């Protein structure tokens, strides 16, 4: 771009007006094409980022939900918790009834009562410990089994991707549709604004062919400004997509 400007500056003094006009037209065409290209690239990048973010979030949440449900089902099948609970309740009820009847028939001494309470507490404690050990065993087994399957590898890869992109493995809930619509609207507005700017530039160029160098400088400045604005918008978009809130 700088070389082009230099060439225009050098040829402006010696060359005729026709060559100047041709050069100006060429420059304008180049600038316009560059602008359009940059805009297209930016929009494409933005759209891609949006799509990737949305898709990944939804898929991740769905995958996690499915896995959780499956795990729960398996756990329920393996350990018959419901049946155990029922049986326990029944036994407890029976014992209570018996004790009540006994108390009605004859009064117990303090010593015997103490003994009985102690026994009960001990039994309960033992049962609790047993339950814990059983649980641990099942968990370890499950881990060893799942390591061999393909599911864990996929999960690992997803986690790695999450760490690489987000920095954390925690999944955020999928962003609402409103955010996406707003993003699209912003993009559309930007496009319209840019188009307007292009038209204005063209008009100015046609109007003042005498102010060649001035126009070139203006074009350069405008281009720089547009680039800056685009960068800012991209940053804003990225932040919004990341945190899922405008």
Report pLDDT digits (tens) over 58-77.
Answer: 665 665 666 555 566 666 66
* pTM, 2 dp: 0.22
Question: How many domains, the chain?
Answer: 1
Provide the pLDDT for residue 191. 76
Mean pLDDT of the chain: 64
11 domain residue, yes or no? no
Could you tell me the residue range of the domain that residue 125 belongs to?
2-6+17-243
12 domain residue, yes or no? no
Q: Which is higher by pLDDT, 119 or 228?
A: 228
pLDDT > 60? residue 32? yes
Q: What angle do CA 145, 147, 149 make, to 5 degrees?
A: 85
Q: Which residues have C-beta within 8 Å of that of residue 187, sequence separation ≥ 6?
A: 43, 46, 47
39: nearest Cα among 47, 49, 51, 28: 47
How would you class 197 by CB atoms within 10 Å of its CB: exposed for 0-12, middle for 13-18, buried for 19 or more? middle
159 domain residue, yes or no? yes
pLDDT per position as a tens digit, 83-138: 555 555 555 565 555 555 555 555 667 777 777 666 655 555 555 555 555 555 55
Provide the pLDDT for residue 246. 47
């Amino acid at each position: 771009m700088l070389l082009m400007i230099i060439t225009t500056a050098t040829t402006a003094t010696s060359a005729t007006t026709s060559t100047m006009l041709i050069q100006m037209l060429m420059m304008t065409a180049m600038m316009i094409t560059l602008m359009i290209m940059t805009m297209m690239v930016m929009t494409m990048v933005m759209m891609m980022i949006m799509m990737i973010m949305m898709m990944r979030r939804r898929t991740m949440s769905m995958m996690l939900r499915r896995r959780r449900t499956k795990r729960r089902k398996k756990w329920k099948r393996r350990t018959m918790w419901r049946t155990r609970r029922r049986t326990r309740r029944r036994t407890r009820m029976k014992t209570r009834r018996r004790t009540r009847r006994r108390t009605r028939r004859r009064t117990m001494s303090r010593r015997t009562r103490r003994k009985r309470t102690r026994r009960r507490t001990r039994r309960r404690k033992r049962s609790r410990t047993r339950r814990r050990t059983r649980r641990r065993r099942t968990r370890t087994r499950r881990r060893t089994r799942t390591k061999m399957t393909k599911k864990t590898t996929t999960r690992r890869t997803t986690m790695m991707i999450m760490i690489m992109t987000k920095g954390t493995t925690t999944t955020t809930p999928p962003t609402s549709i409103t955010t996406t619509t707003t993003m699209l609207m912003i993009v559309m507005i930007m496009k319209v604004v840019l188009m307007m700017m292009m038209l204005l530039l063209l008009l100015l160029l046609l109007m003042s062919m005498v102010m060649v160098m001035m126009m070139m400088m203006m074009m350069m400045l405008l281009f720089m400004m547009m680039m800056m604005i685009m960068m800012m918008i991209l940053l804003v978009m990225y932040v919004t997509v990341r945190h899922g809130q405008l």
